[in-house]
């Protein structure tokens, strides 16, 4: 089956690319215009870059790939290349660099965009691999969107009055759903060889054989996670790996990041607002170790990356892997909580139209979901277009996250998209769902027991 992008003529594809570039730049502007210059240049956490660095880095990557490489143009400001090289400077040290001022940064990214659009007007969007179906432009769109999510995380870490607003999330539309869903044994196609804007770590498509397993129908909610906290889950090393327990003790972890108990309930700080923790939303801002400890306490485990993707993409009626849980159509506001519309997860059951054929909900959007898998290449992996996107990170202690979050833009997520981070990270918009091996009776009957946990 051909991809919709491949079916567009050049002019329509050019218009689509221009629209995506404009949309992502509009979001970058909201995130950087919302604060004053002192906030732009300040480092709000050693885990994050100053917002002004992120914005100039966005422009630097766009210039490198679209203006210089695809366009063959001379560098605009070669003297700043090193300042915005993510591999040359750690996040904690970037505030000390002689960075462009906010005014200079905005002028620079605007000039780069003008020249990039000129390159787009002249590009055939076919032929050369970096140009085929607009891949190079799509790569830059996704890069900027990823930094928009990073900047949103910086906003969550900044102190001060709220500066961002979002629409209220939709209510739960599913009155009840099974606690778990059984996924039958058998093969499925993991990854992609046909998604034009897929990044190298998503490729190639390959066959994976899995045993029968059971996975939560929805992400773990705040209410369920609070039960773990109240039951003393943070004080009992039985539920933690040795590495996780050492981290929990060293950092004094007692609850998800931004939670605090006051009076008779849990509260959280969200983008400058203090509010009660909503019981029916997916828990967010937990690290891998916290997710794994909860799963052990609940008698479960985290799903593997392959299990997550089969639950999200496999269609039992056809045996085919879909682009998204709901099918091959691009995400709409009715499918998933994406694009920073709501600035927080939506209640479980808010997106029935986005469920997978097996009845697994909210796999896309809301919260990134930790898996138990480490960060490794697929069989047949090939670097493209540069090793620093994926290859240099393979191995180490990274864990894979899937599905995107409320901070992820629709063009930067799909059923094959792979994210990764260190297992101690929780400033990201991360949550999880649990899985377990199916017992013999469930395997025989093809129905999960429906346990609640």
Give yes or no for residue 118 having a pLDDT over 90: yes
The Cβ of residue 367 has, within 10 Å, a number of other Cβ atoms equal to 30
Rounded Cα gap, residues 146 and 151, in angstroms? 9
Cross-strand bridge partners of residue 181: 215
What confidence tier does 2 reach under pLDDT thresholds 50, 70, 90? Answer: low
What average pLDDT does this structure show over 345-367? 98
Sheet holding 435-437, edge to edge: 180-183, 213-216, 435-437
Query: Do the Cβ atoms of 401 and 305 come closer than 8 Å?
Result: no
Whole-number mean pLDDT of the chain?
96
Burial of 87 (0-12, 13-18, 19+ CB in 10 A): exposed
Give yes or no for residue 4 having a pLDDT over 90: no
What confidence tier does 3 reach under pLDDT thresholds 50, 70, 90? Answer: confident
DSSP code for 382 = -
Written as six digits, the tokens of 444 are 């025989």
Query: Long-range pairs for 35-40 at CB < 8 Å and ≥24 separation?
Result: 35/158, 35/163, 37/101, 37/102, 39/158, 39/160, 40/102
Rounded Cα gap, residues 117 and 257, in angstroms? 41
Residue bearing tokens 């139209």: 353
Contacts of 4 (CB under 8 A, 6+ apart): 328, 330
User: Alpha-carbon dihedral of residues 153, 154, 155, 156, nearest 10 degrees?
Assistant: 50
Written as six digits, the tokens of 448 are 């999960």
Give yes or no for residue 453 having a pLDDT over 80: no
What average pLDDT does this structure show over 290-296? 98
Rounded Cα gap, residues 425 and 320, in angstroms? 34
Angle between helices 102-122 and 51-62 (to 10 degrees): 20
Domain with CATH 1.20.120.450 in the chain: 4-157
What average pLDDT does this structure show over 390-406? 97
Of residues 354 and 450, which shows the higher confidence score? 354
Of residues 2 and 124, which shows the higher confidence score? 124
* SS3 of residue 314 by DSSP: strand
Burial of 379 (0-12, 13-18, 19+ CB in 10 A): exposed
What average pLDDT does this structure show over 403-407? 98
pTM of the model: 0.96
What confidence tier does 317 reach under pLDDT thresholds 50, 70, 90? Answer: very high
How far the first Cα of the chain sits from its last, in Å, is: 40
Query: Do the Cβ atoms of 223 and 217 come closer than 8 Å?
Result: no
DSSP string, 317-359: TT-PBPSBTTBSSPP-TTT-B-TTSSSSPPPTTS-GGG--TT-
* SS3 of residue 301 by DSSP: strand
Cross-strand bridge partners of residue 435: 215, 301
pLDDT at 450: 56
What average pLDDT does this structure show over 103-131? 96
Helices (H), 275-339: 288-297, 305-313
Q: Is the alpha carbon torsion for 113, 413, 83, 377 positive or negative?
A: negative
State which fold the 4-157 domain adopts.
Answer: 1.20.120
* SS3 of residue 37 by DSSP: helix
Written as six digits, the tokens of 301 are 């485990």
Residue-wise pLDDT for 180-211, tens only, equals: 999 999 999 999 999 999 999 999 999 999 99
Query: Do the Cβ atoms of 409 and 185 come closer than 8 Å?
Result: no
DSSP code for 366 = S
Query: Do the Cβ atoms of 349 and 174 come closer than 8 Å?
Result: yes
DSSP code for 448 = -
DSSP string, 189-242: EES-SS-TT--GGG-S-EEEEE--EEEESSPPBHHHHHHHHHTTGGG-GGGS-H
Candidate CATH numbers 3.90.1580.10, 3.40.50.2300, 1.10.8.60, 3.40.50.1820; the one for domain 168-453: 3.90.1580.10
Contacts of 311 (CB under 8 A, 6+ apart): 181, 183, 215, 303, 356, 358, 360, 363
What confidence tier does 258 reach under pLDDT thresholds 50, 70, 90? Answer: very high
CA-atom Rg of the chain in angstroms: 22
* SS3 of residue 269 by DSSP: strand
* SS3 of residue 429 by DSSP: coil
Give yes or no for residue 452 having a pLDDT over 50: no
pLDDT at 176: 87
Rounded Cα gap, residues 184 and 443, in angstroms? 7
Domain with CATH 3.90.1580.10 in the chain: 168-453
Can you point out the beta strands (E) in 347-450? 368-374, 399-402, 419-421, 430-431, 435-437
Smallest CA-to-CA distance from 341 within 18, 23, 16 is with: 23
Give yes or no for residue 293 having a pLDDT over 70: yes
pLDDT above 90 covers what percent of the chain?
94
Backbone phi, psi, residue 75, to 5°: -60, 140
What average pLDDT does this structure show over 243-259? 98
What average pLDDT does this structure show over 35-52? 97
Residue-wise pLDDT for 410-447, tens only, equals: 999 999 999 999 999 999 999 999 999 999 888 888 87
């Amino acid at each position: 089956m051909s991809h919709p992008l491949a079916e567009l003529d050049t002019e329509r594809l050019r218009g689509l690319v221009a629209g995506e570039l404009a949309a992502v730049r509009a979001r970058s502007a909201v995130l950087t215009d919302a604060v004053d210059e002192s906030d732009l240049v300040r480092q709000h956490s050693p885990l994050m870059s100053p917002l002004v660095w992120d914005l100039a880095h966005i422009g630097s990557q766009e210039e490198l790939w679209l203006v210089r490489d695809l366009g063959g143009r001379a560098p605009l400001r070669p003297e700043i290349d090193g300042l915005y090289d993510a591999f040359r400077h750690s996040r904690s040290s970037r505030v000390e660099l002689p960075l462009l001022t906010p005014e200079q940064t905005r002028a620079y990214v605007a000039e780069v965009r003008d020249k990039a659009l000129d390159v787009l007007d002249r590009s055939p969007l076919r032929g050369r691999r970096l140009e085929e179906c607009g891949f190079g432009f799509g790569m830059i769109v996704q890069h900027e969107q990823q930094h928009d999510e990073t900047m949103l995380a910086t906003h969550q870490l900044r102190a001060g009055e709220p500066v961002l607003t979002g629409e209220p999330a939709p209510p739960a539309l599913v009155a009840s759903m099974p606690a778990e869903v059984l996924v039958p044994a058998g093969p499925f196609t993991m990854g992609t060889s046909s998604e034009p804007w897929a990044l190298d770590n998503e490729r190639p498509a390959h066959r994976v054989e899995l045993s029968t397993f059971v996975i939560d129908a929805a992400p773990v909610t705040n209410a369920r996670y609070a039960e773990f906290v109240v039951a003393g889950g943070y004080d009992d090393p039985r539920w933690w790996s040795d590495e996780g327990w050492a981290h929990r003790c060293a950092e004094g972890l007692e609850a998800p990041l931004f939670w605090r108990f006051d009076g008779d309930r849990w509260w959280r700080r969200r983008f400058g607002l203090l509010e009660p923790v909503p019981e029916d939303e997916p828990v967010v801002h937990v690290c891998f170790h916290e997710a794994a400890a909860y799963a052990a306490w609940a008698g479960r485990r985290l799903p593997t990356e392959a299990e997550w993707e089969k639950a999200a993409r496999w269609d039992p009626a056809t045996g085919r892997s879909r682009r998204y849980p709901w099918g091959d159509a691009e995400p709409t506001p009715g499918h998933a909580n994406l694009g920073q519309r709501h600035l927080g997860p939506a209640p479980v059951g808010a997106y029935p139209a986005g469920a997978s054929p097996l009845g697994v909900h909210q796999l896309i959007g809301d919260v990134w979901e930790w898996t138990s898998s480490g960060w490794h290449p697929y069989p047949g992996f090939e670097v493209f277009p540069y090793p620093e996107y994926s290859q240099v990170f393979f191995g180490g202690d990274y864990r894979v996250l899937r599905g995107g979050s409320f901070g992820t833009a629709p063009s930067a997520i799909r059923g094959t998209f792979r994210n990764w981070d260190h297992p101690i990270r929780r400033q990201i918009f991360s949550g999880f769902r649990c899985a377990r091996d199916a017992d013999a009776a469930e395997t025989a009957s093809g129905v999960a027991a429906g346990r609640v946990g």
